[in-house]
Amino acid sequence: MDDADFDQVPQILFSDVPSLKKRGCPGTLIPLTHDTRAVLCGNNSSDVIVVAPRFGHGRCLVFAHCDYPNIFLNVESEDQNFIDNCRQWLARGENAQFESIDEVSSMNDVQFNRKILVWNGHCTKDDAFMNDLCAYLQQGGALICGSVAWGWLQINKGKFLSDFPFARFCDYIGVKLTDNYTNCPDPILFRPELIKFKNIYHVTQELANDPNNIT
């Protein structure tokens, strides 16, 4: 998938989908690297709620609330068109099935064939599991995951996001969790103008090329 195709991911995921239902009080994400794209924002471009990373040969979607992965496991969902679009992009057009890894302790126990793995990031995984999950993505796997980082901090008093295993995983695939939350509307409208910045890498490159461009 070249850069031009990757730039179209938000439009692919929201094809014939004008909005996404708000789940809880979403946090915010920062797409850091050249291999990430902001997909959906709340009130402004700093309120990123969905990020699409490409990692090796694999594809991933990261959501800023732990309730979003669950919609891919429900038989009936009001966001079905969005779910179908995500399936098509993540599985490259194949009719892959979603499979939760929340209760799985080893990637050796996961069925990979024609599967899109789904992970609620509040279900803690050890470093060995996350390393194997990264290897799975590198080799062309597909993953949907999410967490509400500010909520994790509330539950785990005295800890930092660097202590949150899911945050470390996201760092590795180029997505930064924040302790912020967004007061976005419900439903959350897909507004392409808010995601033109793509990621932090793209912003810094644009500024390097044109230091006077601060818009």
Beta bridge partners of 189: 19
Per-position pLDDT tens, the chain of length 215 = 899 999 999 999 999 999 999 999 999 999 999 999 999 999 999 999 999 999 999 999 999 999 999 999 987 778 999 999 999 999 999 999 999 999 999 999 998 889 999 999 999 999 999 999 999 999 999 999 999 999 999 999 999 999 999 999 999 999 999 999 998 999 999 999 999 999 999 989 877 777 766 55
pLDDT in the model for residue 76? 73
pLDDT reported for residue 214: 52
Whether this prediction's pTM lies above 0.75 is answered by yes
Which pLDDT does position 213 carry in this prediction?
62
Q: What is the pLDDT of residue 215?
A: 52
Output the pLDDT for position 207: 75
